[in-house]
Structure 1
Amino acid sequence: MSETMPELDRFDQAILRVLAGEGRISATELARRIGLSKSPTQARMKRLEETGVITAYRAQLNPIKMGLAHVAFVEVRLSDTREAALQAFNRAVMAVPEVEECHMMASRFDYLLKVRTGDIQEYRRVLGERISALPHVAGTSTHVCMEAVKEVGA
């Protein structure tokens, strides 16, 4: 089933750009920045929320200040890639809090995970006890991040 994409004009795009950087901005200030009055700006925001273009407003946390400075990218190969196995893996990986992102790949491996922990010892524990125990995991390969040059929302 295909979802229809809403038409996004220049005002919608401006709203999205501002909100992506400043989610707590007032509707009055947002309206001023994009060049519309408050009521049409609020109506556009409501439409963007209802059509699923805006999915949430949340606080952007600093993981380093939270003691989570270690980032590793993990290639995961599955032993079975039939739909039931993929769905089992997808459901289970959602329950691993250290996995920040999970992407199914068209590659020599099946998934790429972004894993954030406090240090390499904690990562080793998460890899051995949680990631390797996920359904149908046949093997993993880890790439440790030395420095984040660009991260969305950072």
Structure 2
Amino acid sequence: MIELDDLDRKLLRLLKQDARQSASALGRRVGLSQPAAWRRIRRLEDAGVIAGQMLRLDPEKLGFGVTVFLGVKLSTRARVSLEDFERAVTAIPEVQRVEHMLGLYDYRLRVIARDLADFERVLRRRIMTLPGVGNVEANVLLTEERLPGPI
């Protein structure tokens, strides 16, 4: 594990807000020269602290107005491997996130759809036909108050 100081943490917070910032701009904001800021960022990347950059799209502006969280319990009778289920579920484009859980459900899925009718189609034709699916519980997202931020 890499040791992080206050400057590293400040850089990470700034990069989390906007990963497109230049090393020069970041350095100015934390009191470092451009080369020093660049070296710190490179060190964080090399250590795996910064695992990449991600483009975040607004699903609503792309026509996906419904987000549903599904709890999926695999059937014990189906004798399907976790890898088979994961491979099949990650191939569904409406499934934005797959989380293997410990608890009541084996998996939690984040699913986007154009509307409830579209979600029902995805649920019936794609998700319920996956290998090993047993019980499913759906929770419709009403609002999202906080987006993921720095740790």
Could you tell me the TM-score, scaled by structure 1's length?
0.87
Compute the displacement of 1:118 (Å): 0.8
RMSD: 1.9
Percent identity, aligned pairs only, is 39
Unaligned runs of 5+ in 2: none
Tell me how far apart the structure 2 counterparts of residues 111 and 123 of structure 1 sit (CA, whole Å).
18
State the partner residue of 2:45.
49
Distance of 2:44 and 2:90 partners within structure 1: 26
The one of 97, 101, 108 aligned to 1:105? 101
CA contact (8 A) 1:67 1:118 kept: yes
Deviations 1:53-90 (A, max 9, x none): 11222322111111112011101000149xx7112222
Instruction: Give the 5 Å matches for 1:93-132.
Output: 93-132=89-128
Distance, in Å, in 2 between the alignment partners of 1:63 and 1:24 is 21
Per-residue deviation, 1:10: 1.3
Paired residues of 1:132 and 1:139 also in contact (CA < 8 A): no
Q: Is 2:23 the counterpart of 1:60?
A: no
For the residues of structure 1 that align with 2:14 and 2:142, how far apart are their CA atoms? 31
Aligned amino acid, residue 151 of structure 1: L
**CA displacement 1:96-151 (0-9 Å, x = unmatched):** 11111111111111111111111011111111111112221112111111222222
Alpha-carbon shift at residue 14 of structure 1 (Å): 1.0
Corresponding residue to 2:35 among 36, 39, 44: 39
Q: Given residue 131 of structure 1, which amino acid in structure 2 is its aligned partner?
A: I
Count of residue pairs the alignment pairs up: 148
Aligned match for 1:24, one of 20, 23, 28: 20
